[in-house]
Amino acid sequence: MSQSFDEISAQLKRRHRKSARLKWLSMGALGLAGLFLVIFFADMLGKGLPAFQQAQIRVEVTYSEQSQQLPLAAVNEDVRELVSRGWLRTLPMMMRDNPQLLGTSRQEWVLADGQVDQYLKGHYTRLDDDEKEIVDALAEQGRAELQFNTTFFSRGDSKMPELAGIMSAAMGTVMTLLVTLAVSFPIGVMTAVYLEEFAPDNRLTQIIEININNLAAIPSILFGLLGLAIFINFFGVPRSSPLVGGLTLALMTLPVIIIATRTALRSVPDNIRHAAFGVGCSRWQVVRDHVLPLALPGIMTGSIIGLAQAMGETAPLIIVGMVAFIPDISASVTDAATVLPAQIFTWAGEPDRAFVEKTAGGILVLLTILIAMNATAVVLRKKFERRW
């Protein structure tokens, strides 16, 4: 005799509760991941946004003989500790370049010291009470305020937080990525074309395939060891240079580009190849004139994603010495340089608390670029996505 619905339902209560619990638990897990992302971005924005502003104070600057010798003399004694030392040091040079300034004096907005900056932003500061009072008074008169921080975007690294910027690191990143792209893109695409369109299905091809997949999973720091032992010690590529960094990253990016290109090539339907063979094209002509153009959006998408990954990579670059202190913007791929993530790493290690906001500011810039790159890749994919 079978049970009635109600009897069964009664027995099922506990099991339904368990099932619901799994649902809520799994939903909670996803929520947790989302929550973390929110906390993370809130934290980074909170810490990093102030970096885009910089304290400036309006003071009387005297361009005299004396201040040419001793830049400190250019400003009044009471604010001497409040203006940026780094800025003062540029005064003699400025006067040499503009001799007509000599003997004049005028009110000017000048870069404030990092401690003033921190004080105005309400952070911990090493200013003493007297200095704080002066800053308060200046702020009251509208002579001390936070302005958009151009230094951060136009200068290289500095030991003085108010003068530290990401420009040299950004240039280093650009050069490194250019090297990476120049090496990994052609080799990656050629490898993929070979494997998809030309390679016989033999032992060697299989080994290459397994090897590529495996390469994608090797810890990045080991690529750094390779860069150090082979590129620097063996081939004598200059240490800390975008060249060695770019080459190292190129090897890491290679599998990403190969895999993306192969997927793109595979998604070009065979009947296009057959049609081209049918009109007498050779294998290479088919690939060059028919398959590659159709696969190009997919290849670009993959390359952008690969480059974005390379751009965030730090560990192998540390090993090949790209954590150097680079105050000037270098111009050659063989000069010592640093990259954005390495700059972030360096700043994160600075004991001065003012560098925390620089670090977070650098992170915001890096994340913005990465998100933009990935968004471009997504848009490219959406736009050219084809259903055959």
Chain positions 333 to 352 lying near other proteins, rule: CB under 8 A, are 341-342, 344-345, 348-349
Spacing of C-alpha 210 from chain mean position: 30
**Site track 115-154 with other proteins (rule: CB under 8 A), x = hit:** ----------------------------------------
Asked whether position 331 contacts other proteins by CB under 8 A, the answer is no
Query: What's the min distance (Å) between Cβ of 169 and other proteins?
Result: 12
**379 is a contact residue toward other proteins (CB under 8 A):** no
Q: Are 84 and 111 in contact (CB under 8 A)?
A: yes
Should residue 195 be labelled a site residue for other proteins when binding is judged by CB under 8 A? yes
388 close to 269: Cβ distance less than 8 angstroms: yes
Look up tokens 């600057």; give the residue.
61
Span from 56-64, 126-134, 264-272, 312-320 in contact with other proteins (CB under 8 A): 312-320
Of residues 149-188, those binding other proteins (CB under 8 A): 186-187
Decide whether 227 or 298 has the Cβ nearer to other proteins.
227
Comparison of 78 and 385: residue with beta carbon closer to other proteins = 385
Q: Where are the alpha helices (DSSP H) in 124-219?
A: 129-140, 151-154, 167-193, 203-215
Residues 68, 84, 191, 303: which binds other proteins (CB under 8 A)?
Answer: 191
Contact status: 363 vs other proteins (CB under 8 A):
yes
Establish if 380 lies at the interface with other proteins (CB under 8 A).
Answer: no
Segment near other proteins (CB under 8 A), from 157-165, 166-174, 216-224, 379-387?
Answer: 216-224
Closest distance between other proteins and the C-beta of residue 123, in Å? 13
Question: Residue 216 and residue 260: Cα distance in Å, rounded?
Answer: 12
Complex with other proteins: residue 100 or 202, whichever CB lies closer: 202
Q: What sign does the dihedral 324-328-333-334 (CA atoms) show? A: negative
- The Cα–Cα gap between 206 and 239 comes to 36
Please count the residues of this chain forming the interface with other proteins, following the rule CB under 8 A: 98
Q: Is 275 in the site for other proteins (CB under 8 A)?
A: no
Q: What does the angle CA 5 – CA 11 – CA 14 come to, to the nearest 5 degrees?
A: 130
**Contact pick of 11, 69, 206, 368 for other proteins (by CB under 8 A):** 11
Distances, alpha carbon 293 to alpha carbons 116, 194, 258, 287, 290, in Å: 57, 16, 16, 9, 6
Closest contact distance (angstroms) between CB of 336 and other proteins is: 14
Distances (CA, A) of 303 to 115, 250, 254, 295, 377: 43, 11, 9, 12, 9
d(C-alpha 128, C-alpha 82), whole Å: 11
Residue selected from 147, 150, 233, 368 as contacting other proteins according to rule CB under 8 A: 233
Of 5-13, 119-127, 163-171, 263-271, the window that binds other proteins (rule: CB under 8 A) is 5-13
Instruction: Quickly list DSSP for 169-181.
Output: HHHHHHHHHHHHH
Measured CA angle at 216 (ends 212, 219), to 5 deg:
135
Quote the least distance from Cβ 93 to other proteins, whole Å.
30
